[in-house]
Amino acid sequence: MRDVALYSLARLVLVVVLAVAILYIPRAFGVEIPLLVAALFAVLIALPLSLVLFAPLRRRVNERIAAVDERRRSTRADLESRLRGEGRT
């Protein structure tokens, strides 16, 4: 759960940083960009960028989720076999 929260937080920070950059860099050239437009562009840019920048963290999250899924699958299979009466000697 900690890795998922960390990955989500990292992506959110990336969106905020991009939105701030999109808002304030053009102001140096006298161009005003609305906040909503900057936020939308930041989200669109952050989606593929986060896949590259946070690839190791994303892989770790995927591995942990796969481990939890495997544990649940194993527990469920064990429970189903016990409910069928298998495994008792």
Distance CA 82, CA 20 (A): 57
Distance CA 66, CA 58 (A): 12
8 Å CB contact between 11 and 50: yes
Confidence (pLDDT) at 88: 58
**3-state class percentages of the chain: helix first, strand second, coil last, to nearest 5:** 85, 0, 15
What residue ranges of the chain have pLDDT lower than 70? 87-89
**Global confidence as pTM:** 0.72
First to last CA, the chain: 39
Confidence (pLDDT) at 50: 93
